Amino acid sequence: MNKIIDKWLNRMEEYRFLFSQLVKRDFSKKYKNTSLGMVWSVLSPLLTLLIMKIVFTNFFGRDAEYYTTYLFSGNLVMAYYKEATKNGMSSLRTNAKIIEKINLPKYLFLLSKNISALVNFVLTLVVYFIFCVFDGITFGPWMLLLLYPIACLTIMNIGIGMILSALYVFFKDIKYLYDVFLTLLTYLSAIFYYVDRFDARYRDLFLLNPVYVMIKYFRTIVIDMKIPSLQYHGLCLFYALFFFAIGGHMYKKYNKKFIYYL
Amino acid sequence: MSIIKCDNVSVKYMTGDFKAIGLKEYVVRHLTHNYKVKEFYADRNISFTLEKGDMLGIIGTNGAGKSTLLKAITGIMEPATGKVHTKGRIAAFLELASGFDPEMTIKDNTYLRGAMLGFTKKYIDERYYDIIKFAELEKFEDYTFKQLSSGMKSRLAFAIASQTQPDIIILDEVLSVGDGAFRKKSGEKMKEILASNVTGILVSHSVKQVREMCNKILWIDHGNQIAFTDEKDLYLDAYEEFLECKKLPESRADIEQMAVAHSIKVRAKEDAAMQKESEKLEKILNEGERESAIRAAIAILDNKCPEALNKKYIKEMGL
Least confident of A43-52, B161-170, B253-262, B297-306: B297-306
Q: 86-115 in B: which are within 8 Å (CB) of A? A: 92, 94-95, 98-99, 101, 103-104, 108, 111-112, 115
Of the candidates B111, B144, B139, the one whose C-alpha atom is nearest the C-alpha of residue B125 is B111
Task: Specify whether B129 is located in the same domain as B223.
Answer: yes
Task: Specify whether B290 is located in the same domain as B184.
Answer: no
Sequence-ordered list of residues with C-beta below 8 angstroms from that of B278, at least 6 positions apart, any chain? B300, B303
Three-state secondary structure readout of chain B: CEEEEEEEEEEEEEEECCCCCCHHHHHHHHHCCCCCEEEEEEEEEEEEEEECCCEEEEECCCCCCHHHHHHHHHCCCCCCEEEEEECCCEEEECCCCCCCCCCCEHHHHHHHHHHHCCCCHHHHHHHHHHHHHHCCCHHHCCCEHHHCCHHHHHHHHHHHHCCCCCCEEEEECCCCCCCHHHHHHHHHHHHHHHHCCCEEEEECCCHHHHHHHCCEEEEEECCEEEEEECCHHHHHHHHHHHHHHCCCCCCHHHHHHHHHHHHHHHHHHHHHHHHHHHHHHHHHHHHCCHHHHHHHHHHHHHHHCHHHCCHHHHHHHCC
Determine the Cα–Cα distance for residues B294 and B305; give it in Å rounded to an integer.
16
Q: What is the CATH number of the domain that holds B52?
A: 3.40.50.300
Q: Which residues of B touch A28 (CB under 8 A)?
A: 104, 108
- Residue A110, pLDDT score: 94
Chain B's closest residue to A108, CA to CA, is B116
Per residue in A76-126, pLDDT (tens digit) is 999 999 999 999 999 999 888 888 888 888 999 999 999 989 998 998 999
Task: Specify whether B44 is located in the same domain as B137.
Answer: yes
Residue type, position B116, single letter = M
A260–B14: do the CB atoms touch at under 8 Å? yes
In the predicted model, what is the mean pLDDT of chain B? Answer: 83
Task: Specify whether B193 is located in the same domain as B177.
Answer: yes
Sequence-ordered list of residues with C-beta below 8 angstroms from that of A251, at least 6 positions apart, any chain? A106, A107, A162, A166
Flag whether pLDDT at B291 surpasses 90.
Answer: no
B76–A177: do the CB atoms touch at under 8 Å? no
Q: 158-217 in B: which are within 8 Å (CB) of A? A: none
Determine the Cα–Cα distance for residues B254 and B261; give it in Å rounded to an integer.
10
Task: Specify whether B174 is located in the same domain as B240.
Answer: no
Chain A's closest residue to B79, CA to CA, is A256
- Residue B2, pLDDT score: 85
Quick one: pLDDT band at residue B177, thresholds 50, 70, 90? low
Three-state secondary structure readout of B85-154: EECCCEEEECCCCCCCCCCCEHHHHHHHHHHHCCCCHHHHHHHHHHHHHHCCCHHHCCCEHHHCCHHHHH
Top pLDDT among B193 and A84 is at: A84
- Residue A243, pLDDT score: 96
- Residue B176, pLDDT score: 60
B104–A256: do the CB atoms touch at under 8 Å? no
Q: Is A111 helix (H, G, I), strand (E, B) or coil?
A: helix
A29–B21: do the CB atoms touch at under 8 Å? no
Q: Which residues of A touch B92 (CB under 8 A)?
A: 101-102
Flag whether pLDDT at B280 surpasses 90.
Answer: no
Among B180, B205, B227, the domain boundary falls at: B227
Per residue in B253-278, pLDDT (tens digit) is 888 888 888 888 888 988 898 888 88
Task: Specify whether B71 is located in the same domain as B219.
Answer: yes
Of B26, B99, B115, the CB nearest to A97: B99
Mean pLDDT in residue range B212-233: 87
Task: Specify whether B244 is located in the same domain as B122.
Answer: no
A171–B21: do the CB atoms touch at under 8 Å? yes
A101–B94: do the CB atoms touch at under 8 Å? yes
The DSSP output letter for A100 is: T
Task: Specify whether B186 is located in the same domain as B56.
Answer: yes
B116–A28: do the CB atoms touch at under 8 Å? no
Mean pLDDT in residue range B70-84: 88
- Give A165 to chain B, closest Cα distance, Å: 14
What's the domain count of chain B?
2
Task: Specify whether B107 is located in the same domain as B46.
Answer: yes
Task: Specify whether B158 is located in the same domain as B108.
Answer: yes
A102–B121: do the CB atoms touch at under 8 Å? no
Determine the Cα–Cα distance for residues A108 and A100; give it in Å rounded to an integer.
15
B99–A101: do the CB atoms touch at under 8 Å? yes
Among B178, B203, B227, the domain boundary falls at: B227
Among B172, B195, B227, the domain boundary falls at: B227
pLDDT in tens, chain A (262 residues): 677 778 777 777 778 888 888 888 888 877 765 666 777 777 887 888 888 888 888 777 666 788 889 989 999 999 999 999 999 999 999 888 888 888 888 999 999 999 989 998 998 999 899 989 988 888 989 999 999 999 999 999 999 999 999 999 888 888 999 999 999 999 999 888 888 888 888 888 899 999 999 999 999 999 999 999 999 999 999 999 999 999 999 999 988 888 887 7
- Give B304 to chain A, closest Cα distance, Å: 53
Determine the structural domain holding residue B238 and report its residue range: 231-319
State the pTM of this model: 0.81
Task: Specify whether B235 is located in the same domain as B207.
Answer: no
Give me the interface pTM, i.e. the ipTM.
Answer: 0.77
Mean pLDDT in residue range B93-108: 80
Task: Specify whether B95 is located in the same domain as B216.
Answer: yes
- Residue A14, pLDDT score: 77
Of the candidates B135, B203, B197, the one whose C-alpha atom is nearest the C-alpha of residue B165 is B197
Q: Is A233 helix (H, G, I), strand (E, B) or coil?
A: helix
